[in-house]
């Protein structure tokens, strides 16, 4: 498949380009940072949709927290076409501060930063959790970005378990893409793949987001079976949640203190959801 590689032409106005940005586990490419700030950062929609849907086909579950991915290789190959010198400052940052900053060719700086991020941003657990309450900071103002409260927890949730995204301040699925999301809903990958003629003309990046939030699962004989339940406890109504195939919980009924200290019961409270990737020890 040929994909047009388009980039904001203003890069040609400069003698050198500097990328400055963080590196952390990412649902599409494995880890953010490096050349990703070109593609898809300031790129055309073709390569954005291609890389995001490619990641969705592999699944966020398998991709997130992996340094070398097919999507990263596509991005690096596209960046090699940039005719202007470019370097990167790649930082590894958490709420506790800066753990490291790496400078050099984007591929090299990213690689070193991703190795450190794998130590800083990943929390390993011995047993999967049955229920997780992901409390989103107010910096996440819509589900489009707040989905991190789901996919950074997904690998550590037991089959048949539930993740609740708690964010009373969120009232939108997405300002930019809400119309499409309401049309397609949130579904597992195979829901789209096995009905491709029905969905192929929708923006692939939005299809990918749909799978990221809904997680892995199956679609057989017209019946969808997500591996886990995804529930919103936000400012989005019960009717809207159910219309897009998500569960609903009234945020007023949730008391954070009741969720704390119950890890031995398979229940986890995550106060800064989206900051760390949770994974099961092998």
- Where are the CATH 3.90.226.30 domain residues in the chain? 124-280
Record the pTM: 0.96
* Phi/psi-derived region of residue 160, left when phi > 0, alpha when psi is between -120 and 50, beta in every other case: left
Share the mean pLDDT of the chain.
97
Per the document, the length of the chain is: 282
Over residues 177-191, mean pLDDT:
98
Within the chain, strands assigned E span 16-22, 25-26, 30-31, 85-94, 97-104, 122-125, 129-135, 157-167, 217-220, 223-226, 229-234, 247-248, 267-270, 277-280
| CATH top-level class of 124-280 | alpha beta
| CATH top-level class of 9-120 | alpha beta
- Residue 175's Cβ-side half-sphere holds a number of Cα atoms within 13 Å equal to 5
What pLDDT score was predicted for residue 168? Answer: 98
Contact 199, 184 (CB under 8 A): yes
Residue 2 has pLDDT above 90, yes or no: no
Q: What is the pLDDT of residues 247-276, one digit of tens each?
A: 999 999 999 999 999 999 999 999 999 999
* Cα–Cα dist 235/154, whole Å: 23
Residue 1 has pLDDT above 80, yes or no: no
Q: What are phi and psi of 81, to 5 degrees?
A: -85, -10
Q: How far is CA 7 from the centre of its chain?
A: 23
- Where are the CATH 3.40.50.11440 domain residues in the chain? 9-120
Q: What is the pLDDT of residues 66-107, one digit of tens each?
A: 999 999 999 999 999 999 999 999 999 999 999 999 999 999
Report residue 282's pLDDT band, with 50, 70 and 90 as the boundaries: confident
Residue 224 has pLDDT above 80, yes or no: yes
For tokens 């339940």, name the residue: 229
Within 23-94, strands assigned E span 25-26, 30-31, 85-94
Over residues 35-41, mean pLDDT:
95
Q: How far is CA 77 from the centre of its chain?
A: 22
């Amino acid at each position: 498949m040929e994909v047009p590689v388009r980039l904001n032409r203003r890069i040609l106005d400069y003698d050198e380009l500097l990328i400055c940005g963080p590196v952390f586990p990412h649902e599409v490419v494995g880890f953010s940072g490096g050349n990703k700030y070109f593609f898809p950062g300031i790129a055309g929609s073709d390569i954005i949709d291609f890389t995001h849907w490619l990641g969705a086909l592999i699944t966020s579950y398998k991709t997130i927290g992996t340094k070398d991915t097919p999507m990263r290789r596509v991005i690096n190959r596209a960046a090699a076409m940039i005719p202007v010198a470019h370097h990167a400052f790649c930082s590894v940052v958490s709420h506790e501060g800066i753990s490291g900053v790496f400078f050099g060719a984007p591929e090299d700086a990213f690689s070193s930063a991703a190795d450190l991020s794998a130590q800083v941003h990943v929390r390993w657990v011995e047993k999967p959790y049955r229920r997780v309450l992901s409390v989103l900071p107010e910096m996440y103002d819509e589900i489009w970005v707040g989905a991190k409260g789901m996919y950074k927890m997904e690998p550590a949730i037991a089959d048949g378990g539930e993740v609740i995204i708690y964010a009373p301040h969120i009232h939108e699925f997405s300002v930019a893409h809400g119309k499409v999301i309401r049309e397609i809903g949130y579904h597992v990958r195979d829901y789209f793949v096995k009905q491709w003629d029905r969905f192929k003309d929708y923006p692939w990046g939005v299809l990918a987001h749909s799978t990221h939030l809904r997680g892995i699962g199956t679609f057989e004989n017209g019946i969808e079976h997500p591996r886990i339940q995804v529930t919103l406890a936000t400012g989005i109504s019960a009717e809207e949640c159910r219309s897009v195939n998500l569960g609903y919980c009234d945020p007023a009924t949730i008391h954070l203190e009741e969720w704390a200290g119950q890890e031995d019961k398979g229940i986890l409270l995550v106060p800064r959801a989206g900051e760390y990737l949770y994974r099961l020890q092998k």
